[in-house]
Structure 1
Amino acid sequence: MAQPQPQNVFAPWADPAEKPLIRFEGVTKRFGDFVAVDDLNLDIYEREFFALLGPSGCGKTTLMRMLAGFENPSEGNIWIGGQNMKGIPPNRRPVNMMFQSYALFPHLTVWDNIAFGLRREGMDKDRMRVRVDEMLRLSRLEKFAGRKPHQISGGQRQRVALARSLAKAPKLLLLDEPLGALDKKLRQDTQFELMDIQEKTGTTFVIVTHDQEEAMTVASRVAVMDHGKLVQVATPAHIYEAPETVYVADFIGDVNIIEGTVIPAQGNRVDITYAEGKPPIRAATDKTLVPGQRVSFAVRPEKILVSREMATERTNAVKGRIEDIAYLGNISTYHVRLDSGHLVSAQMTNRNRLERREFTWEDEVWLSWTETAGIVLTE
């Protein structure tokens, strides 16, 4: 049963009374013998910023192309706003698509690029002028209205393409790797601009990306895909903190995964033996496990404390030697080789200046974490 949500939390997927804007119903797409999308079911709701995330070849772009109408499902149905999209061409769908290349017309000004679709639809000049000016304000491009695409920056071109896509007020905007051409700093800035514009317009955004950080930043929910199937669909926080499989845990962010065997423990705790002669890992879990069952224990580097002395107040403590250090400015990542032979990553905030760093290469250290810091995975 869905739990009631606080009024200020946007979570239509948790409300059984909410009807999805988009529904994939048993959708399969084959190219010859290759199955790109495999019997997929998915609901996406109005005003969501939804991310399709996965490695190259996982089926996410094929899924988006079917939504846009550029590909037809081999089996199953796609619904938008309660209407079956079977046989409906791209130009008759309440959808617009923004490509990675932006596809701006180099000979037209920013203003005319945004107006292009409205002009083709035959919108009268006064309404068109109001709508384009509104899009310029929304995307903060008023000063650049008279410039050509080659006279503005990559981030500004990205906003022109976005404004042009939104000018026709589609119910749904599809974004195919929209920030891939931008450098990292500009990409991070533009992610927040995208979120702001999406919130102001109320348009449903579906973004395809292979960038985990991008999906986690912008999306209300993330669908992690692999080999044409949905592996997990959840909020970014849930995907990160409570992955359902080793694949999801390993794909999203950095993680340590240690394989072991379940031994009996009391209550909602489990002990996992992972190396001969070493104390077991103790973890909290609500899964039903049996003695002797093989499991994986996943713990994020930032959940692990690095210390000179054994941290007796933490349930789990292991000893090792620092093999490598990655200095990332605000944090440092320590790669520690345990006595058992496992290599474990731990992250610590750099509170002191570099010359006063507490740990260095070849230091013997203790790694420790609480029993709730990690998660037990069975698949």
Structure 2
Amino acid sequence: MMQQTATGGSFSPWDDPNEEPLIRFEQVTKRFGAFTAVDRLDVEIFKGEFFALLGPSGCGKTTLMRMLAGFEKPTEGRILLDGRDIGPVPPNRRAVNMMFQSYALFPHLTVAENIAFGLKRSDMPKADIPARVNEMLNLVQLRDFAGRKPHQISGGQRQRVALARSLAKAPKLLLLDEPLGALDKKLRQQTQFELVDIQEKTGTTFVIVTHDQEEAMTVASRVAVMDHGRLVQVDTPDRIYETPNSVYVADFIGDVNLIEGNVASVDGERIEISWAEGQSPIIGCSASPPAAGTRCSFAIRPEKVAISAERPPDAANAIRGHIHDIAYLGNISTYHVRLASGHIVKAQAANSRRVGRRDFTWEDAVWLSWTETAGIVLTG
């Protein structure tokens, strides 16, 4: 799947067999006593990527990042940076920088002095440091705040100071550990786009650790979904969302309806799924259909389920139920519809009318419908 860059070109080095990765994990395992935090992990990250490690607390994503930074060493396996095993290389000798959630700014130094701090301890000639600091201030749009102390600027601005300081030494790789966790929702969303813009301007490879699905889907060129120390799926955000490879990924990313059943029949790519007594089979499609009799889950996103008062005449799938609950989210409403089988299926609809004039309310009888290709059949 191709990603669009800011200049309009495509960016998908992972699809090019001749492209060498910047980072390669080879059968990396990390144990803490009897506990395995990372389990025989293989993954490649390419130059210029904004790569997201996504998963619940305790899944191993932070341990993976700390091994990249050099704060932890693999128990087994190798981590290569530009083809070199960085296991023996101490953190301060790696072409890697890390930005922490706390930002760790020096309160007694100005914004400019915070950015210059690492440069003054590097090999950069002293005469070149002011120009580099100015370049970073312009990059993060904080030139007018250069003389202020951290407590004199906003949380979003402190985040940008930390980012500028991390990028000042031009690392090959920047690691971001929950970098936006301290920001409120609206500022976090705004800063996500700023991060992407800065990453594209610098060309630095970013690896971000987050448990926020929306954040990962917004910023990343690819997302790695983790569970219990393993990578469950590594793919572009659209493919992670539209074609999850397992029930775990489908359920973890976004909102989804999961209906369990058995494959009743297969005709080419067309599948019929028997799922509840007295209900018509669900009609779906799969490029690699499972055999008849296979236990499966049918996953469909609420926005792909239409809701109507009358049965749509040409719908491949149509189920009747009653509205059990409504979640009003401003621009959309999510309708929780209880079926005769007891299943609850969610459908989303845009709120094109004001609340008092919407079409459906609690306990209304409605039809839910979707096309043959709207959902995905999962066996894992």
Q: Normalising by structure 1, what TM-score?
A: 0.98
Residues 184-213 of structure 1, C-alpha deviation per residue, up to 9 Å, x if partnerless?
A: 000000000000000000000000000000
SS at match of 1:264: strand
Does residue 131 of the first structure (1) align with residue 132 of the second (2)?
A: yes
Corresponding residue of 1:260: 261
244-253 or 282-291, which deviates more: 282-291
Measure, in 2, the Cα distance between the counterparts of 1:350 and 1:202: 40
Corresponding residue of 2:308: 307
Corresponding residue of 1:179: 180
Q: CA deviation at 1:289?
A: 1.7
Write the letter of the residue equivalent to 2:115: I
Write the letter of the residue equivalent to 2:318: A
Corresponding residue of 1:226: 227
- Aligned ranges for residues 111-190 of structure 1 at < 5 Å? 111-190=112-191
SS at match of 2:356: helix
Measure, in 2, the Cα distance between the counterparts of 1:63 and 1:157: 26
Corresponding residue of 1:352: 353
Does residue 74 of the first structure (1) align with residue 78 of the second (2)?
A: no
Measure, in 1, the Cα distance between the counterparts of 2:280 and 2:254: 27
Corresponding residue of 1:211: 212
Q: Is the 8 A contact 2:266 2:289 kept in 1?
A: no
Measure, in 1, the Cα distance between the counterparts of 2:267 and 2:291: 12
Corresponding residue of 2:336: 335
Corresponding residue of 1:45: 46
Q: CA deviation at 1:112?
A: 0.1
SS at match of 1:348: strand
Q: CA deviation at 1:92?
A: 0.4
Write the letter of the residue equivalent to 2:253: I
Measure, in 2, the Cα distance between the counterparts of 1:14 and 1:267: 28
Residues 132-164 of structure 1, C-alpha deviation per residue, up to 9 Å, x if partnerless?
A: 000000000011000000000000000000000
Measure, in 2, the Cα distance between the counterparts of 1:26 and 1:61: 17
SS at match of 1:271: strand
Percent pairwise identity: 71
Runs of 4+ off more than 4 Å:
none
Q: Is the 8 A contact 2:137 2:146 kept in 1?
A: yes
Corresponding residue of 1:25: 26
Write the letter of the residue equivalent to 1:359: F
Measure, in 1, the Cα distance between the counterparts of 2:42 and 2:266: 38
Measure, in 2, the Cα distance between the counterparts of 1:147 and 1:14: 45
Residues 234-271 of structure 1, C-alpha deviation per residue, up to 9 Å, x if partnerless?
A: 00000000000000000000000000011113221000
Does residue 34 of the first structure (1) align with residue 35 of the second (2)?
A: yes
Q: Normalising by structure 2, what TM-score?
A: 0.97
Measure, in 2, the Cα distance between the counterparts of 1:263 and 1:321: 27
Measure, in 1, the Cα distance between the counterparts of 2:148 and 2:126: 20
Corresponding residue of 1:195: 196
Residues 250-301 of structure 1, C-alpha deviation per residue, up to 9 Å, x if partnerless?
A: 0000000000011113221000010011100000111232221100000000
Residues 99-148 of structure 1, C-alpha deviation per residue, up to 9 Å, x if partnerless?
A: 00000000000000000000111533331000000000000001100000
Task: For structure 2, list consecutive stretches of 5 or more residues without a partner in the other structure.
Answer: none
Q: Is the 8 A contact 2:166 2:174 kept in 1?
A: yes
Residues 68-107 of structure 1, C-alpha deviation per residue, up to 9 Å, x if partnerless?
A: 0000000000000111112110000000000000000000
Measure, in 2, the Cα distance between the counterparts of 1:354 and 1:120: 60
Measure, in 1, the Cα distance between the counterparts of 2:202 and 2:124: 20
Write the letter of the residue equivalent to 1:206: V
31-40 or 347-356, which deviates more: 347-356
Measure, in 1, the Cα distance between the counterparts of 2:278 and 2:292: 18
Alignment RMSD:
1.4
Write the letter of the residue equivalent to 2:122: E
Measure, in 2, the Cα distance between the counterparts of 1:9 and 1:284: 29
Task: For structure 1, list consecutive stretches of 5 or more residues without a partner in the other structure.
Answer: none
Q: CA deviation at 1:63?
A: 0.2
Write the letter of the residue equivalent to 1:245: S
Measure, in 1, the Cα distance between the counterparts of 2:137 and 2:93: 26
209-218 or 289-298, which deviates more: 289-298
Measure, in 2, the Cα distance between the counterparts of 1:8 and 1:312: 43
SS at match of 1:185: helix
